[in-house]
């Protein structure tokens, strides 16, 4: 394989992970070709509203992106307050001084996160080939093809609405088993979803209950609802490589195992993979340094959260309401600690990815044995 600092790097996948890698390489004047299997960026998201979390670092996530050389030129709504509900319809205020997360739009369109990344990449001279599915890599390459299994699903609707901007969450297993139901509204557009970690076969029932609950609790108004959903694939990989090629983003399993806020890990791993090619350094060492402890804390958090049940969620919501700042509290929950380190092996055993073959990181998996493949809800 040639990685002689001038050879072209091929990247499979124009999601946040692949584009962040492309931008980092292009900023160092390395030639890059990004192959995107679909006709546009963010195809699977179709203008989904998502949250760019702002609690894993003390530094604001927008500054973190800027320091990594990644654009922040996308539409966003800083979210400092919202409402959470328990299974008994009790509301709990969520407050944070700094934004808890930034609401962003995903998929095609002028103002989305995906388009901002694409624009930055193209302005830096990256060649992006759409309708181009990379099947084999012959030279330097980075694999960024997204999830390979469904460890969680988020299913519901996109819609137009006259509701005010904001967000709401419901923690109730009858709506979103082991997960949470959420409502996001920005600029007359909304998304309502049940994000579930089990019970996928009854997804339609959970979505129906989620919509009914938000109608009852906050007067959810959906104009022209369009069904939408997708999957999340979480795992702490042993090695994030396929042969010699770095594997980044959700293809590697980099995600927020607790709640599925995977965009930041995708972008960060993309940047790290590019740096490893530029510097000739060990990508596995880099991601372990930057993401390893956070991923481990996420798995422990997931194992604990999945034990809570409705009464446990109620306790958690009360606890957060009594805390002066939700961002501070979440920062603490996501921070690595000795206790989390000790619990990690048990948590890993309890939470196991649905991937049939954990070692398969092929660029365009067609292995019959590992059953990786297309998304159920693409």
Ligand X SMILES: Cc1cc2nc3c(=O)[nH]c(=O)nc-3n(C[C@H](O)[C@H](O)[C@H](O)COP(=O)(O)OP(=O)(O)OC[C@H]3O[C@@H](n4cnc5c(N)ncnc54)[C@H](O)[C@@H]3O)c2cc1C
Residues that bind ligand X (CB under 6 A): 12-18, 35-38, 43-44, 48, 50-53, 133-134, 144-146, 154, 229-232, 249-251, 255, 260-263, 266, 363-364
CB of 12 to ligand X, least distance (A): 4
CB of 338 to ligand X, least distance (A): 27
Residue 291 tokens read as 């993401």
Q: How many CA atoms lie within 13 A of 142 on its CB side?
A: 35
Cα(334)–Cα(291) distance, rounded to whole angstroms? 12
3 state SS of 93 = strand
CB of 339 to ligand X, least distance (A): 26
CB of 322 to ligand X, least distance (A): 26
Query: In the complex with ligand X, which residue's Cβ is closer, 133 or 371?
Result: 133
Query: In the complex with ligand X, which residue's Cβ is closer, 155 or 343?
Result: 155
CB of 18 to ligand X, least distance (A): 6
Query: In the complex with ligand X, which residue's Cβ is closer, 85 or 261?
Result: 261
Query: In the complex with ligand X, which residue's Cβ is closer, 253 or 343?
Result: 253
Tokens 């880099």 correspond to 286
CB of 115 to ligand X, least distance (A): 13
Query: In the complex with ligand X, which residue's Cβ is closer, 92 or 261?
Result: 261
Query: In the complex with ligand X, which residue's Cβ is closer, 113 or 343?
Result: 113
Query: In the complex with ligand X, which residue's Cβ is closer, 84 or 134?
Result: 134
Q: How many CA atoms lie within 13 A of 107 on its CB side?
A: 13
Query: In the complex with ligand X, which residue's Cβ is closer, 191 or 314?
Result: 191
- What are residue 139's phi and psi, to 5 degrees? -120, -140
Cα(54)–Cα(99) distance, rounded to whole angstroms? 7
What Cα–Cα distance (Å) separates residue 72 from each residue in 57, 66, 128, 167, 184? 17, 7, 20, 21, 20
Query: In the complex with ligand X, which residue's Cβ is closer, 7 or 38?
Result: 38
CB of 88 to ligand X, least distance (A): 26
The torsion of the CA quartet 115, 121, 122, 125, rounded to 10 degrees, works out to 180
CB of 366 to ligand X, least distance (A): 10
3 state SS of 159 = strand
What Cα–Cα distance (Å) separates residue 332 from each residue in 53, 57, 201, 288, 337? 14, 10, 34, 20, 9
- The answer to whether 146 and 175 have CB atoms below 8 angstroms apart is no
Give burial (CB, 10 Å; 0-12/13-18/19+) of 291. buried
Cα(256)–Cα(69) distance, rounded to whole angstroms? 22
Query: In the complex with ligand X, which residue's Cβ is closer, 263 or 347?
Result: 263
Q: What is the DSSP letter of 163?
A: P
CB of 346 to ligand X, least distance (A): 25
- What are residue 169's phi and psi, to 5 degrees? -135, 145
- The answer to whether 115 and 108 have CB atoms below 8 angstroms apart is yes
Residue 146 tokens read as 């997204």
What Cα–Cα distance (Å) separates residue 112 from each residue in 45, 91, 107, 138? 11, 31, 6, 32
CB of 257 to ligand X, least distance (A): 11
């Amino acid at each position: 394989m040639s990685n002689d600092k001038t050879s072209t790097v091929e990247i499979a996948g124009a999601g946040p992970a692949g584009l962040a890698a492309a931008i980092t390489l292009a900023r160092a004047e390395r030639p890059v070709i990004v192959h995107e299997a679909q006709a546009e960026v963010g195809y699977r998201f179709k203008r989904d509203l998502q949250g760019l979390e702002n609690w894993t670092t003390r530094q604001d996530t927008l500054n973190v992106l800027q320091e990594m050389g990644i654009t922040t030129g996308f539409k966003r709504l800083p979210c400092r307050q919202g409402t959470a509900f328990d299974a008994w319809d009790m509301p709990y205020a969520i407050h944070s001084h700094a934004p808890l997360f930034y609401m962003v739009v995903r998929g095609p369109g002028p103002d989305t996160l995906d388009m901002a990344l694409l624009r930055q990449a193209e302005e830096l001279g990256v060649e992006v080939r759409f309708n181009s599915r990379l099947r084999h890599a012959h030279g330097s390459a980075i694999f960024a093809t997204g999830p390979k299994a469904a460890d969680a699903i988020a299913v519901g609707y996109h819609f137009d609405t006259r509701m005010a901007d904001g967000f709401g969450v419901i923690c109730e297993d009858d709506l979103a088993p082991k997960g949470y139901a959420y409502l996001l509204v920005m600029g007359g557009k909304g998304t309502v979803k049940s994000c579930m970690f089990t019970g996928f076969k009854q997804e339609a029932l959970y979505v129906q209950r989620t919509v009914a609950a938000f109608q009852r609790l906050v007067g959810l108004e959906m104009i022209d609802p369009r069904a939408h959903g997708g999957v999340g694939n979480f795992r702490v990989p042993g090695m994030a490589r396929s042969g010699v090629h770095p594997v980044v983003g959700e293809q590697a399993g980099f995600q927020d195992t607790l709640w599925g806020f995977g965009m930041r890990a995708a972008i960060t791993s993309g940047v790290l993979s590019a740096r490893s090619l530029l510097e000739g350094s060990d990508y596995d060492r880099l991601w372990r340094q930057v993401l390893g402890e956070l991923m481990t804390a996420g798995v422990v958090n997931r194992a604990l959260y999945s034990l809570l049940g409705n009464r446990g969620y109620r306790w958690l919501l009360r606890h957060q309401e009594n805390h002066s700042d939700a961002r501070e509290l979440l920062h603490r929950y996501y921070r690595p600690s000795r206790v989390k380190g000790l619990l990690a092996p048990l948590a890993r055993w309890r939470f196991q990815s649905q991937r049939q073959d954990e070692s398969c990181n092929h660029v365009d998996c067609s292995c019959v044995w590992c059953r990786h493949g297309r998304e159920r809800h693409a």
